[in-house]
Structure 1
Amino acid sequence: MNDFASLTITGRRSNNEDNLCVDVDLQLYAVADGLGGYDAGEVASQLAVDALRGFVSRCRADPEGTWPGRGSRARTLSENLLAMGALEAHRSIAHQKKGTGSQMGSTLATVLLERNRLTVAHVGDSRVYRFREGVLQALTVDHSMYAQLKASGADVPPRHLFQFKNQITRALGLPADHLADTAVFELRSGDRVLLCTDGLYDPFTDEALEALVAGGDATTACQRMVDAAFTAGSHDNITLVVVDL
């Protein structure tokens, strides 16, 4: 049995728009960050994790069941499962806000653990990391203007680039031609998997976060990272899931 822990706090915000999913039976883990401020962001993130979990659970119980869309031959079965789960979550949020004028939406970062394999799917700027032998590796690339500009090599002064940091380009519940990006990674005994919303990683450099992830059991690591993010000045809700192999 894998050691795991999860934690979410409101932090300096007046309400918590983050949600998470931990399902040991399915080996499904997820975090979601609701968008829209007071415009039901917490509802969107709850819908996201509930719809994802419900879809994966139904598919495990009935592999011949109906999917909300067509899978891709370029993806593994587990990648398609998570991608379709994200689509189900997207449709659940879109249906909830239909006709209300609500702008609510949600990010999603989720993983499925299967023996020595980790399947990852994400939408938005919530992240998945793998920590192995002292090295923290990001397994997702943010769907944000900041990430796009950095990847493009555009000559944007750092002070101007920073203003795009929290402008996401993709979210559940918002119009999009493409939702979840997926990938599969190998796992080894001793690996630590971290899923988190931006309230956790925003205050830190990659090196600082790497140092915080190391050491202790999953519960200790969760509390240490949340305490450090809050102390470092995080202005957002802080949510994370840690799974140790």
Structure 2
Amino acid sequence: MQYVAVSALSHPGLLRERNEDSLVVGPWTLCATVTESPQTLVFPLGTPLVVAVADGLGGHPGGEVASALAARRIAAMGPSLDGEDVVRAVLKACNRAVYQAAEGGELAAMGTTVAGVVVQPDSLLVFNVGDSRVLAVDRDGLRQVSVDDSPPLEPGQRTTSLVTQCLGGTTAYRDVEPHVTAVPLKPGDRYIICTDGLTDPLTTDVIEELVREHDDGRAVFELWKAAIAAGGPDNITVAVVRVSDE
């Protein structure tokens, strides 16, 4: 029997007053909350299993509201996410829901990024809107499999806090074009789903080294610890997903 193990952690970092990130692991959501240590959940491989992060836009009111709204809707629809078109439709529905929740009130322009995977018996659906990321770790190394919605970087610039699309985020309704890709599912491969609170302060070399050196739960802890040591400038949410034989 094959199973899916998910280890995850969410933390506000060192500079933010509150955590505006949300996390989805199957039917379970963690919204605007702090975990003191990684939590690990194990599921049988079979029914579509969604693992995702949502990062409420900093500097906008209601970032934690937008991320929680998206996370809970994605979790509720998780078992039905059996194809690329379905995932796109759910993300577009999340975008409409964020706008509707903010309409005409003090939460106008609230928004969130989102990124995640849907684990199916024979493939993995990778999705994102914004700059939260999905990274794959296999025998060939670490590579990004999500697509950043960010403007081009200036020479010498490694990261940017700007996004070209997200769920919500503007006072006038704007549609989104989610990135959704199917990739082969191979037992033993690991996937990192994270907000930019992890990838902004840490280089890909550091992330790869830590994930290769440690097993899943410990890897999540060490990634968080490294981001904190690098200044912890933003909320940090990270999940490591592995499909394994018994």
Q: Same fold (TM over 0.5)?
A: yes
Q: Give the total of aligned pairs.
A: 217
What residue is the counterpart of 1:49 in the other structure?
71
| Partners of 2:206 and 2:93 in 1: CA distance | 36
Query: Matched residue of 1:11: which SS?
Result: coil
Tell me the residue number matched to 1:74. Answer: none
Contact 2:166 2:176 in 1 (8 A): no
> How do residues 143-182 of structure 1 correspond to structure 2 at under 5 angstroms?
143-145=149-151, 149-150=152-153, 156-158=154-156, 161=157, 165-174=160-169, 175-182=173-180
Query: What is the alpha-carbon distance in structure 2 between the residues aligned to residue 142 and residue 194 of structure 1?
Result: 15
Q: Which residue of 1 aligns with 2:30?
A: none
Contact 1:36 1:104 in 2 (8 A): no
TM-score for the superposition, normalised by structure 1:
0.82
> Which of 51, 54, 57 does residue 35 from structure 1 map onto?
57
| Structure 1 residue 134 displacement after superposition | 5.7
3-state secondary structure, aligned to 1:89: helix
Q: Where does residue 64 of structure 1 map in the other structure? A: none
Residue among 77, 80, 85 paired with 1:80:
85
| 1:89 pairs with 2:85 | no
Cα-to-partner distance string for 1:132-155 (whole Å, 9 max, x where unaligned) = 02601100121011xxx25xxxxx
Structure 1: distance between partners of 2:240 and 2:204: 17
2:6 equivalent among 4, 8, 12: 4
Q: Which residue of 1 aligns with 2:37?
A: none
Q: If each structure's strand is expressed as a fraction of its own residues, which one has the higher value?
A: 2
Displacement of 1:38 in angstroms is 5.8
TM value normalised by structure 2: 0.82
CA distance in 1, matches of 2:102, 2:187: 43
Off by >4 Å, runs of 4+ in structure 1: none
Equivalent position of 2:143 in the other structure: 137
CA distance in 2, matches of 1:181, 1:4: 22
Q: Which sections of structure 1, spanning at least 5 residues, go unmatched? A: 61-76, 151-155
Quick check: 209-218 or 43-52, which moved more? Answer: 209-218
User: What does the per-residue CA deviation read over 1:94-134, in whole Å, with 9 as the maximum and x for residues that have no partner?
Assistant: 11100115221000002111123110110000000110026
Determine helix, strand or coil for the equivalent of 2:105. Answer: coil
AA aligned to 2:179 is D
Give the C-alpha shift of residue 37 in structure 1.
Answer: 3.1
Secondary structure of 1:2 counterpart: strand
1:17 counterpart (10, 17, 20): 20
Matched, 1:233 2:239: no
Kindly indicate whether residue 194 of structure 2 is the aligned counterpart of residue 196 of structure 1: yes
In the alignment, the residues of structure 2 paired with residue 157 and residue 112 of structure 1 have an alpha-carbon distance, to the nearest angstrom, of 35
- Partners of 1:195 and 1:224 lie apart in 2 by 15
Higher helix share: 1
Q: Which moved more, 1:175-184 or 1:86-95?
A: 175-184
